[in-house]
Amino acid sequence: MHTHIWGQPSVFLFWGLGIAVGIAGCVGLARRDGFSIRQALPLAISIGFIFLLGTKIHAWFADPRPFLSRGWYTTMMVGFHFPGGVILTGLTAPFLFRFFRVPALRFLDTIVPMLGFSIAIARIGCFLNGCCFGVACAYPWGMRFPRGSSAFRYNALAGQLEPDRLTTIPLHPLQLYFSLAGLALGLFLLWMRKRRRFEGELVLWGLVFWAWSKVAIESLRDPALMPVTPHLFETGIAIAIISSLGLIASYWRNRTVPA
């Protein structure tokens, strides 16, 4: 593991890289769909900022103790909860798109594939940092995290490690699962772009795909080691169910619309 690269937390660098790639990709896709750079760039940056703010707010309400015990810089570098980003973006989207005078569903359909690719990149930082790990893994791909990583500290506190151990027991690398899920999401939504039947379809598919994959992956966390997991898990299920019902209802309403 490499918790720091060039003196900076790896999780920060890869989240930053994911955001930069996401914004650049959003602008590129938006231009292909007829939006100008003047429309796409500030709107993509605004959505990205609001989404990240939502992840931090959700993490704070889920468990404020880590935020209270750390400095400002460290607090900003860790603790990102995807459901909070979805909720805050959804609440602010009507006002945001009205301000920029851009059709909301059409623009969101355009940029949503880049969310998957951004997640795929950002989660590599989580892997290098040794955070966001899973329960013990008996399969060949189980990962051992070194002393000094978050995984090692949690395993040691749980009494799962001998005093002289240098690595954890084999654990599910949830970070890589999330990264692969993000990559699959991005590729699937790019494939769906030319098959869209109605505005908002790709947004709903993105929510359904990511929410259910997140629920499946989060089930591999150890709730005894990660006390916020039940809260995060329940929020993810709620988003998955609501987005699934929304997708079904939208297909039913648009069932007579030709492809």
Mean pLDDT by 10 residues, the chain (259 residues): 65 83 93 92 91 82 66 59 82 91 92 92 86 87 85 78 82 93 95 90 91 87 59 68 84 66
Number of domains in the chain: 1
Q: What is the pLDDT of residue 3?
A: 61
Note whether residue 53 is domain-resident.
Answer: yes
Q: What is the pLDDT of residue 257?
A: 47
Note whether residue 123 is domain-resident.
Answer: yes
Note whether residue 245 is domain-resident.
Answer: yes
Give the amino acid at 207. L
Structure tokens at 30: 């938006």
Note whether residue 259 is domain-resident.
Answer: no
Note whether residue 51 is domain-resident.
Answer: yes
Other Cβ atoms within 10 Å of 27 Cβ, number: 21
Q: Is 27 left (phi over 0), alpha (psi -120 to 50) or beta?
A: alpha
Strand partners, 167: 146
- The set of residues, in sequence order, having a beta carbon less than 8 Å from that of 118 and lying 6+ positions away, is 18, 19, 21, 22, 182
Instruction: Please check whether residue 201 is in contact with residue 243, taking contact to mean a CB–CB distance below 8 angstroms.
Output: no
What are the percentages of helix, strand and coil residues in the chain, rounded to 5? 70, 5, 30
Q: What is the pLDDT of residue 97?
A: 92
Instruction: Please check whether residue 213 is in contact with residue 202, taking contact to mean a CB–CB distance below 8 angstroms.
Output: no
Structural domain range at position 241: 4-253
Note whether residue 148 is domain-resident.
Answer: yes
Note whether residue 86 is domain-resident.
Answer: yes
